[in-house]
């Protein structure tokens, strides 16, 4: 019995020590990232307010701030790696440790990579010129040959449009940073994107209005994307997501951008 008691004490001591070493019992830090001294984060840089890379190469956005927080807690420097929506799931693991930047959860990406726990619910909804809001409240109103729907190639916005709209005129536009200018210039009638983006863009462009962002056409989740076999980094990221929700970091960062 004395031996058993001693083992229990030793396990308790070592358990407390391990928890203290990683901070309140958070998962152990991933050795590969620590050895490199760098957290490589893939992002498209074209999806405000989550991520944006300006012409001078400066990054900003919600997930840029959060990438910095994650790297700081790991004790390494963050490095942003630009990718595209089409290449996102392929670049994770080869060019970067994880991908961040308003990434929607899809079955296609899940086959190629691994998602963290989700951190936001969202959904697809239109944004259009304010005078036209009443014209585009339902998919049936939108799915007409005379309606021009602008899309950015390679992401979930294009997938939704091409699978759900059969008759509308699809207008591809390659630059997601300037795509809303097509609506302002009258070269397209609307764009269907995540409700969070429509709210933010409507604040930047008073001529544009989000169409029922509180009741989008779809119910989606956002999460971070990691390699197919992420190792301990997945547990660390999930633990970090829990921590930033509990300590107010997530709320503070999103408040700065969404208002």
The answer on 172 and 200 residing in a single domain is yes
Looking from the CA of 231 toward its CB, the CA atoms found within 13 Å total 10
Buried b or exposed e, range 16-54, using 16+ CB within 10 angstroms:
eeeeeeeeeebbebbeebeeeeebbbbbbbbbbbbbbbe
80-91 confidence digits (pLDDT tens): 999 999 999 999
Give the pLDDT score at 253: 96
163-181 confidence digits (pLDDT tens): 999 999 999 999 999 999 9
Residue 186 within a domain = yes
CA dihedral 206, 45, 257, 56 (to 10 degrees): -80
User: What is the layout of strands, in order, in the sheet containing 51-53?
Assistant: 46-47, 51-53, 59-60
Residue 18 within a domain = no
Structure tokens at 176: 């997601």
Note the pTM of the prediction, 2 decimals.
0.79
User: Is residue 24 scored above 80 in pLDDT?
Assistant: no
Residue 96 within a domain = yes
Give residue 109's domain range.
Answer: 36-122+221-258
92-140 confidence digits (pLDDT tens): 999 999 999 999 999 999 999 999 999 999 999 999 999 999 999 999 9
Give the pLDDT score at 259: 72
- The whole-angstrom distance between residue 17's C-alpha and the CA centroid of its chain comes to 35
**Can you name the residues that pair with 124 across neighbouring β-strands?**
194
The answer on 156 and 107 residing in a single domain is no
Q: How many angstroms separate the Cα of 25 from the Cα of each of 34, 69, 74, 240? A: 18, 18, 14, 11
**Host H or E run for residue 46:** strand 46-47
The answer on 133 and 101 residing in a single domain is no
Comparing 258 with 216, the larger pLDDT belongs to: 216
204-217 confidence digits (pLDDT tens): 999 999 999 999 99
Lowest mean pLDDT among 1-5, 44-48, 84-88, 199-203: 1-5
When divided into structural domains, the chain yields a total of 2
Give the pLDDT score at 23: 38
Residue 215 within a domain = no
For helices 232-246 and 62-74, the axis angle rounded to 10 degrees is: 110
User: What is the layout of strands, in order, in the sheet containing 169-172?
Assistant: 169-172, 148-151, 190-194, 124-129, 208-210
Residue 114 within a domain = yes
Which sign does the torsion angle of CA 192, 155, 158, 186 carry? positive
The answer on 56 and 177 residing in a single domain is no
User: Is residue 13 scored above 80 in pLDDT?
Assistant: no
Residue 86 within a domain = yes
Give the pLDDT score at 27: 62
- Residue 48, domain CATH: 3.40.190.10
The answer on 227 and 205 residing in a single domain is no
**Percent of the chain predicted with pLDDT > 70:** 90
Residue 10 within a domain = no
The answer on 97 and 49 residing in a single domain is yes
């Amino acid at each position: 019995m004395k031996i058993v008691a001693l083992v229990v004490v030793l396990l308790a001591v070592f358990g407390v020590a391990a928890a203290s070493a990683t901070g309140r019992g958070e998962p152990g830090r991933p050795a590969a990232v620590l050895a490199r001294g760098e957290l490589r984060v893939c992002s498209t840089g074209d999806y405000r307010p989550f991520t944006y890379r300006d012409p001078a190469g400066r990054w900003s956005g919600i997930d840029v701030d959060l990438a910095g927080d994650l790297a700081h807690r790991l004790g390494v420097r963050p490095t942003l790696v630009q990718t595209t929506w089409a290449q996102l799931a392929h670049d994770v693991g080869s060019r970067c440790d994880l991908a961040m930047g308003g990434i929607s959860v899809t079955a296609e990406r899940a086959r190629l990579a691994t998602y963290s726990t989700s951190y936001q619910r969202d959904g697809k909804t239109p944004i259009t010129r304010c005078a036209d809001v009443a014209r585009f409240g339902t998919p049936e109103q939108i799915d007409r040959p005379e309606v021009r729907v602008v899309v950015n190639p390679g992401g979930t916005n294009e997938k939704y449009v091409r699978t759900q709209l059969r008759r509308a005129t699809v207008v591809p536009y390659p630059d997601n940073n300037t795509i809303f200018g097509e609506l302002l210039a009258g070269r397209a009638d609307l764009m269907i994107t995540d409700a969070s983006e429509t709210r933010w863009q409507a604040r930047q462009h008073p001529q544009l209005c989000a169409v029922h962002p509180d009741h989008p056409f779809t119910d989606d989740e956002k999460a971070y994307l990691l390699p197919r076999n992420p190792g301990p980094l997945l547990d660390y990221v999930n633990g970090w997501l829990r921590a930033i929700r509990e300590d107010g970091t997530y709320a503070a960062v999103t408040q700065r951008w969404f208002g």
